[in-house]
Chains A and B, each alone.
Chain A
């Protein structure tokens, strides 16, 4: 039935994929479906009077007047973060540390399979699962575009899908890597949460607060700006940074997880 840890993990997470996929369709596709109402209500004009900090949090307001801009800013620029950050952290905790915390890892590591192999297979399972949920949500938004008769370029949807996937992978990888490296749920949960909170604040206030301008380079959202994708090509620096964030924690975990004691084993 399952030939390896990767397939077993995907099978085990089938309801997780279904649930989050449904959640993504519900939140993102419905938000996209509200575009005609939003466009006709004149809310875009009202939003011109809101404070600059809030504007930053809401993305490029000028983009709200077109469906592609609305999807890039209001749907993926705002709501996708609310969806994919928790998904990535929950998935990272689940695949990175839960099995060790509840003692199920012993049955696995009692088999002729190395710790590194377990880590790599679970990591790729996590990447696959998060990419699947992102893909489902992008396809759903594309389907809504057809339903509400608002054209959106496939190229833009492709760019959004790529950047959202990389952003989700980065958050997942930090959580997963810390969990595997240290075997402590508290570290695996605390660090990405603090990073995301800092990123939210930095994203909102860096334009107004001088000392935050340089700190903004450490913000995750600096490298995930879907609103900029409407008129610009992909930013390869952003792609490289997100891939780097996705790879480095796992490389560190590969070294540390192979050397340390399993946590639950400590008497």
Chain B
């Protein structure tokens, strides 16, 4: 059990309605200190709504949420001294240069300057002397990332943060997050890019249709599901379900394909595959992709 002081974000039974539309439906989850916690789901799942609620841009219809033990609504200003926020589609002040913008943000946070980020700005090759309106999406995103890091906040709240960054910059960005986490700081980031979550996150909360599906440790999730098996059949072949003793998970079936996850690709599995009229076999290490898709499919079946 985690100690209460280790809980950085605590969301309890939060519901958010926009008129008759329920954007968040009684969600609860926690984020522990020092973690990089992914928040994963398809578009419209409610990830941004949750983040905007945590940032006090919108208010919960029911339930409560705290950050560092403080209420996100009543202690909003106090909390934000410890939070750095970045959104992938964030609009900046286009008429300011990067330098003016960062100085302004530093002043609003009660800092004199952003000197401690100058080296990192060089690493990122951030353009500081041109107006933000003249910069590309990716270059603006670098400035927004620097702004989020002003004051070395205890918690970074990131809403699809790598939108617009090229792969090289994405890697630099992941490095920053890992470094932040290594120093005992916490990162909460939403994403719909599975590879990104798999690469940097310690724990991940899956969300769909405004509901939390599951919160799991990424390593445990991947190690618990060791192999992903895809069997391809001729269109006239009869496709039989694998026997129960194989303990398969996340079975998916199309007209010519059967895919599932297994703990171990052992002799029993191989014998069964050999007994089928299979045209092609692929056995690979499970990715978060396969787990993610399987999880959503299960959830859809449950709903039905």
Q: Looking at the complex, which of A107-115, A156-164, A193-201 is the stretch in contact with chain B?
A: A107-115
Chain A: which residue is nearest B150 at the CB level? Answer: A111
Contact among A2, A102, A109, A110 with B104 in the assembled complex (CB-CB below 8 Å):
A2
B52 touches A12 (CB 8 A): no
Interface flag for B76 (CB, 8 Å): yes
Chain A residues lying within 8 Å of B83, measured Cβ to Cβ, are: 110
B92 touches A104 (CB 8 A): yes
Interface flag for B57 (CB, 8 Å): yes
Shortest Cβ gap from A114 to chain B (Å): 5
A107 touches B91 (CB 8 A): yes
Shortest Cβ gap from B125 to chain A (Å): 22
Q: Which of B43-74 contact A (CB under 8 A)?
A: 44, 46, 48-49, 52, 55-59
Q: Looking at the complex, which of A147-155, A238-246, A258-266 is the stretch in contact with chain B?
A: A258-266
Interface flag for B226 (CB, 8 Å): no
Number of CB contacts from chain A to chain B under 8 A: 79
Per-position binary interface string of chain A over residues 1-16, scored 1 when its CB falls under 8 Å from any chain B CB and 0 otherwise = 1111100100010000
A114 vs B49: C-alpha distance in the bound complex, in angstroms? 20
Find the residue from B48, B107, B109 having the highest chain A CB count within 10 A.
B107
B55 touches A110 (CB 8 A): yes
Chain B residues lying within 8 Å of A259, measured Cβ to Cβ, are: 59
Give the size of the chain B interface in residues (CB under 8 angstroms): 36
Chain B: which residue is nearest A109 at the CB level? Answer: B57
Give the size of the chain A interface in residues (CB under 8 angstroms): 26
Knowing A114-B77, A267-B48 are in contact, say whether A102-B107 is a contact too (CB < 8 A). no
Interface flag for B13 (CB, 8 Å): no
Chain A: which residue is nearest B144 at the CB level? Answer: A107
A104 vs B46: C-alpha distance in the bound complex, in angstroms? 21
Interface flag for B273 (CB, 8 Å): no
A225 vs B23: C-alpha distance in the bound complex, in angstroms? 52
Chain A: which residue is nearest B49 at the CB level? Answer: A267
A4 touches B95 (CB 8 A): no
A110 touches B58 (CB 8 A): no
A109 vs B85: C-alpha distance in the bound complex, in angstroms? 10
Q: Which of A93-152 contact B (CB under 8 A)?
A: 102-104, 106-114
A106 touches B57 (CB 8 A): yes
Shortest Cβ gap from B23 to chain A (Å): 6
B58 touches A266 (CB 8 A): yes
Q: Which of A174-216 contact B (CB under 8 A)?
A: none
Contact among B80, B92, B95 with A111 in the assembled complex (CB-CB below 8 Å):
B80
Chain A: which residue is nearest B23 at the CB level? Answer: A267
Interface flag for B244 (CB, 8 Å): no
Interface flag for B115 (CB, 8 Å): no
Q: Which of B125-158 contact A (CB under 8 A)?
A: 144, 147
A110 vs B134: C-alpha distance in the bound complex, in angstroms? 24
Knowing A1-B100, A267-B48, A267-B49 are in contact, say whether A104-B91 is a contact too (CB < 8 A). yes
Chain A residues lying within 8 Å of B303, measured Cβ to Cβ, are: none
Chain B residues lying within 8 Å of A8, measured Cβ to Cβ, are: 104
Chain B residues lying within 8 Å of A107, measured Cβ to Cβ, are: 85, 90-93, 105, 144, 147
A113 vs B107: C-alpha distance in the bound complex, in angstroms? 11
A261 vs B17: C-alpha distance in the bound complex, in angstroms? 11
Chain A residues lying within 8 Å of B192, measured Cβ to Cβ, are: none
Chain A residues lying within 8 Å of B109, measured Cβ to Cβ, are: 111-112
Find the residue from A106, A112, A259, A262 having the highest chain B CB count within 10 A.
A112
B55 touches A109 (CB 8 A): yes
Knowing A1-B100, A106-B57 are in contact, say whether A112-B77 is a contact too (CB < 8 A). yes
Knowing A110-B85, A112-B81 are in contact, say whether A265-B92 is a contact too (CB < 8 A). no
A1 touches B104 (CB 8 A): yes
Knowing A112-B78, A267-B18 are in contact, say whether A1-B103 is a contact too (CB < 8 A). yes
Chain B residues lying within 8 Å of A266, measured Cβ to Cβ, are: 18, 58
Find the residue from A1, A102, A106, A110 having the highest chain B CB count within 10 A.
A110
Chain B residues lying within 8 Å of A3, measured Cβ to Cβ, are: 107
Contact among A1, A106, A113 with B77 in the assembled complex (CB-CB below 8 Å):
A113
Chain A: which residue is nearest B103 at the CB level? Answer: A1
A111 touches B55 (CB 8 A): no
Interface flag for B110 (CB, 8 Å): yes
Interface flag for B199 (CB, 8 Å): no
Shortest Cβ gap from A105 to chain B (Å): 8
Chain A residues lying within 8 Å of B56, measured Cβ to Cβ, are: 109
Sort A-B residue pairs by CB-CB distance and give the 4 closest, nearest first. Answer: A110-B85, A261-B58, A111-B108, A103-B91
List residues of chain A with CB under 8 Å of any chain B CB.
Answer: 1-5, 8, 12, 102-104, 106-114, 259-262, 265-267
Since A103-B89, A267-B46, A267-B49 are in contact, a sample of 5 more A-B pairs with Cβ atoms closer than 8 Å, ordered by chain A residue number, is A102-B91, A107-B92, A107-B144, A112-B110, A267-B18
